[in-house]
């Protein structure tokens, strides 16, 4: 028991997703015992056991789905060949497990820092993000500082450098990663120009759709702190509602405020 909990703690410390499975109920004939635990790691490996055999295979499959969907789960299994929740065995008992999923904090990568980046960093940390600030020299078409930052499917990139050359260089790097959100400060005209460059170089529309420019919800404020709030608000809204068609207001790429 202690060993798998140590491994779970190590995975969390290494910023890896993992799921702790605990048997919370076992009735009748069953290989699983109440309190038995198993850890499922994001690379597909496991530690511990909750009974083995077809039951454990079913539990691992559900744990994998919960981890992929970023949720915890309560799962019931009938150790019978037929019927609701049956898994095709003859034991005749039933088992309920709780899957506690653990995820690293979302990553907020601020490229450029400055008068907007400073309040955004503070707000991002307060909101539970792991904040990385990448300071860059202006006017460069390369950006080794950003290339050295590992970006994930739960990374949110904010481009607020002092010039369009640096922003475009950073965007080219970010678009090669799984980061679902890449926001760029500046005018619509600036984004359209950069978009033309990227399209000519063969970057697909699906990838360009990850770019939010001009960045931030249209809250009306124009002070650095207010812009930081608008940026973080958009990131939070996107993070929780990117796939469910929620109506939210932001600056559209046509330069008008409209629901999307």
Average pLDDT over the chain, rounded to an integer: 86
* Res 257: pLDDT: 37
More reliable by pLDDT, 135 or 255: 135
- Cross-strand bridge partners of residue 41: 18
CATH 3.40.50.720 residue window(s) in the chain: 107-259
Q: What are phi and psi of 32, to 5 degrees?
A: -90, 140
Domain 107-259 sits in CATH 3.40.50.720: yes
* Res 254: pLDDT: 34
pLDDT at residue 171 tops 90: yes
Query: Mean pLDDT over residues 194-213, rounded?
Result: 91
User: 3-class SS at 22?
Assistant: strand
- The count of residues in the chain is 260
* Res 251: pLDDT: 41
Closest by CA position to 21, among listed 8, 1, 40: 40
CA distance 105 to 110: 16
Query: Mean pLDDT over residues 204-214, rounded?
Result: 91
Q: CA-CA-CA-CA torsion for 103, 126, 148, 169, nearest 10 degrees?
A: 120
Question: What secondary structure letter does DSSP report for 86?
Answer: B
Q: Are strands 37-41 and 18-27 parallel, antiparallel or unpaired?
A: antiparallel
pLDDT band at 197 (very low <50, low <70, confident <90, very high): very high
More reliable by pLDDT, 16 or 249: 16
pLDDT at residue 164 tops 90: no
Residue spans of beta strands (DSSP E) within the chain: 18-27, 37-41, 46-48, 73-78, 94-102, 107-111, 130-134, 155-159, 181-184, 211-212, 249-251, 257-259
**Burial class of residue 22, CB neighbours in 10 A (0-12, 13-18, 19+):** middle
User: Around Cβ 132, how many Cβ atoms within 10 Å?
Assistant: 18
* Res 242: pLDDT: 58
Question: What secondary structure letter does DSSP report for 216?
Answer: S
The pair of three-digit structure tokens given for residue 224, joined into one six-digit string: 């650095």
pLDDT at residue 222 tops 50: yes
CA distance 247 to 260: 6
User: Around Cβ 146, how many Cβ atoms within 10 Å?
Assistant: 23
Give the pLDDT confidence of 108-163 residue by residue, as tens digits. 999 987 899 999 999 999 999 999 999 876 666 567 788 889 898 889 999 998 88
* Res 240: pLDDT: 82
Query: Mean pLDDT over residues 57-65, rounded?
Result: 94
Q: Are 101 and 72 in contact (CB under 8 A)?
A: yes
pLDDT at residue 248 tops 80: no
Q: Are 116 and 221 in contact (CB under 8 A)?
A: no
Q: Are 71 and 38 in contact (CB under 8 A)?
A: no
C-alpha angle 204/208/211, rounded to 5°?
165
Predicted TM-score (pTM) of this structure: 0.70
Give the pLDDT confidence of 29-52 residue by residue, as tens digits. 889 999 999 999 988 999 999 988
The pair of three-digit structure tokens given for residue 132, joined into one six-digit string: 């990385």
* Res 113: pLDDT: 76
Query: Mean pLDDT over residues 1-22, rounded?
Result: 87
CA distance 164 to 7: 45
Give residue for tokens 């994930």: 152
CA distance 185 to 192: 13
Query: In sequence order, which residues have a C-beta less than 8 Å from that of residue 205 and are 6 or more positions away?
Result: 199
């Amino acid at each position: 028991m202690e060993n798998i909990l140590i491994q779970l703690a190590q995975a969390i410390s290494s910023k890896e997703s993992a799921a702790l499975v605990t048997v919370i109920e076992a009735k009748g004939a069953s290989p699983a015992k109440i309190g038995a635990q198993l850890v499922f790691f994001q690379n597909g490996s496991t530690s511990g056991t909750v009974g083995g055999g077809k039951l454990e295979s079913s539990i691992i499959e559900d744990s994998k789905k919960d981890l992929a969907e970023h949720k915890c789960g309560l799962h019931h299994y009938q150790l019978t060949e037929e019927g609701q929740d049956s898994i095709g065995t003859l034991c005749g008992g039933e088992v309920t497990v709780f899957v506690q999923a653990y995820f690293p904090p979302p990553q907020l990568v601020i490229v450029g820092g400055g008068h907007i980046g400073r309040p955004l960093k503070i707000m991002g940390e307060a909101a539970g993000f792991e904040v990385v600030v990448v300071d860059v020299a202006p006017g460069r078409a390369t950006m080794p500082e950003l290339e050295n930052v590992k970006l994930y499917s739960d990374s949110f990139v904010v481009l607020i450098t002092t010039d369009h050359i640096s922003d475009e260089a950073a965007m080219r790097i970010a678009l090669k990663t799984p980061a679902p959100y890449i926001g760029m400060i500046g005018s619509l005209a600036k984004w359209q120009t950069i978009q033309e460059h990227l399209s000519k170089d063969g970057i697909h529309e699906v990838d360009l759709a990850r770019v939010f420019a001009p960045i931030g919800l249209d809250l009306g404020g124009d002070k650095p702190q207010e812009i930081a709030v608008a940026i973080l608000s958009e990131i939070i809204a996107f993070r929780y509602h990117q796939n469910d068609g929620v109506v939210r207001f932001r600056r559209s790429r046509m330069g008008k405020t409209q629901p999307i």
